[in-house]
Structure 1
């Protein structure tokens, strides 16, 4: 039985290949952001459907196996997505807090028959630069990856229904021929942007976006380059000594008074100390003479 189901899934996937074979059921491509929420529609159902006849299965690309997420209109408690899944009133599927492993194909079935194939892809941005690089003169490297419904991050050649690109905040695509930007490791689902930051790039948004046929933007994700330092740090310079020897040095009056009074106080203390020592010497000598007379 399991082998028959796996074979059925493989045959369904061949509907994506450019062989001229047409699929009668609906195919829906959904693009969302990592960590976000999404709706997986069951578009082929009639109005006011009976969700107790509906089930959902999930197929992870690159693996010849699938799991049942919803059975008879109810989320299966043994699903690893159960805490994040819910079924809507029209039997569609809501998936929250999206994770990389959620990318794949979902099939809505009614009374055991496939109605809609939903292909979910997730967009992510990671920064390869440190926080100290976010300053004028620093290098910013951003990696954008689309985890697809079939083969995350690589995208097979038949995946021509979308395009991945870096753009400005207004959606204008950054051109690779611009000497300021460098696009490296470029593939259909993996593209890295490298640029040297300038002063005007503080709080600038760098956008990775997915566009579909007809240049329709399906999803985008922004990274903001907020500077830690407004200016690039420079080595402190020592003050240049003055070569003008004709200018007199002016000291505050309080310092002049202190410099004059301090030696006078030292002299006075020394005089009184010397006088006290002389008196003690005389007193000691008198005591010695008195003792000699008594003997």
Structure 2
């Protein structure tokens, strides 16, 4: 019994370490949709940003993006990165591959100053099960709204932090109660799926997936149905 209590306590300690930075404060979460621009704050910045280094970590791999206030040009996404005047990291046209842990670190004369400032970036992305040429009136289509997250499980975000993925129409009406749509959620991959049979009037219609965190709307991603042009000649 004592061993079980010890393992539970150890598990809680590990989870707290993942959710907090070295200072013990909760690591901020930033939610955005693919295609958007995002700004990640550097809460430990020194004057001038010449001491600032930004790095990115995912799957045990750490990549340096900014060093000494200067962008690393050899990295794949360097054209989408910019250091703000307040030493924030700005990412243009975010992709689902940008999710992960970012941290800002300060160096003066080669020596680290203070602790790292961490921030999690979670990215919402909507995709269709059908190719553009297959989308037409009478066909069935499934839209997938997936949150790309890091470090914690989707189940934790749902149960402990109130994460919700909600499908709405252009007017903002929840589609969950509309019998025309079959909506399901998988916490294993953090995907909300919407399936429907398309109608003639669905051409150019937009459906939006909203992400709410702790009862606040954080971001949304939209999919607009487009039928092949030859159907409207």
TM-score category, normalised to shorter length: 0.7 to 0.9
Aligned-residue RMSD, C-alpha: 3.0
Return 5+ residue gaps in structure 1 as ranges: 1-10, 231-295
Residue 193 of structure 1 and its aligned partner are, at CA, apart by: 0.8
Say if 1:80 and 1:132 are closer, same or farther in 2 by CA, change over 3 A.
closer
Question: After superposition, what is the alpha-carbon deviation per residue over 1:79-104, rounded to whole angstroms, capped at 9, x for unaligned?
Answer: 33323211111100111232332110
CA distance in 2, matches of 1:150, 1:81: 22
Say if 1:87 and 1:133 are closer, same or farther in 2 by CA, change over 3 A.
closer
Greater relative contact order, per chain length (Cα 8 Å cut-off, separation 6+): 2
Return 5+ residue gaps in structure 2 as ranges: 1-13
2:206 corresponding residue in structure 1: 205
Residue 110 of structure 1 and its aligned partner are, at CA, apart by: 2.6
Query: What count of residue pairs does the alignment treat as equivalent?
Result: 208
Residue 76 of structure 2 aligns to a residue whose secondary structure is coil
| Larger helix fraction of residues | 1
1:217 corresponding residue in structure 2: 217
Say if 1:13 and 1:107 are closer, same or farther in 2 by CA, change over 3 A.
farther
| Larger strand fraction of residues | 2
Residue 14 of structure 1 and its aligned partner are, at CA, apart by: 2.0
Question: Which has the greater radius of gyration?
Answer: 1
- The two structures have a TM-score, normalised by structure 1, of 0.61
Matches within 5 A, 1:167-186: 167-175=168-176, 177-184=177-184, 186=186
2:62 corresponding residue in structure 1: 66
Task: Give 2:50's match in structure 1, choosing from 49, 52, 76.
Answer: 52
Moved over 6 A (4+): none
CA contact (8 A) 2:154 2:190 kept: no
CA distance in 2, matches of 1:13, 1:65: 21
Matches within 5 A, 1:1-295: 14-16=17-19, 23-25=23-25, 27-45=27-45, 49-60=47-58, 63-111=59-107, 112=112, 113-130=114-131, 131-135=133-137, 137-150=138-151, 155-160=153-158, 161=161, 162-175=163-176, 177-184=177-184, 186-187=186-187, 189-214=190-215, 216-228=216-228, 229=231
